[in-house]
């Protein structure tokens, strides 16, 4: 799953950067909450494909995808309130993402503990 996520960041996120490159820095697409949601999407898309390929059903795939977004989404109220900055969201969000993913795996230990 991690390799799929890295592949998504290496392949899909640069497409977003190219698509939004000519826009002003003040454009909504350059907001931290938008950028981090797009990053999570770039990582989630290939991870979802890999999980489906590996035979996971809809619910675990949805839970894992939500876990990836949650690492950032829980920080947005603090960002919007000015209590945390862009770099804080990036750093803490990337730390929380694997923590939430681990929690999702532990909730379905039997599904993730055996070889597929």
The whole model's pTM is what?
Answer: 0.84
For residues 23 and 10, what is the distance between their CA atoms, to the nearest angstrom?
21
Please indicate whether residue 16 or residue 112 has the higher confidence score (pLDDT).
16
pLDDT of residue 22: 84
Percent of the chain with pLDDT strictly greater than 70 = 97
Q: Residue 116 — pLDDT band, cuts 50, 70, 90? A: low
- 32-53 and 2-20 helices cross at what angle (nearest 10)? 140
Average pLDDT, the chain: 91
**Residue 115 confidence (pLDDT):** 67
């Amino acid at each position: 799953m991690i390799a799929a996520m890295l592949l998504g960041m290496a392949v899909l996120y640069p497409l977003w950067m190219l698509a939004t490159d000519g826009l002003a820095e003040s454009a909504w697409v350059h907001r931290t909450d938008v950028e981090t949601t797009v990053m999570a999407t770039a990582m989630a898309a290939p991870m979802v494909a890999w999980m489906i390929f590996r035979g996971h059903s809809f619910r675990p795939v949805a839970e894992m995808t939500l876990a990836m977004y949650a690492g950032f989404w829980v920080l947005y109220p603090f960002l919007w309130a000015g209590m945390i900055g862009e770099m804080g969201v990036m750093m803490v969000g990337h730390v929380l993402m694997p923590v939430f993913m681990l929690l999702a795996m532990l909730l379905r230990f039997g599904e993730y503990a055996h070889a597929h």
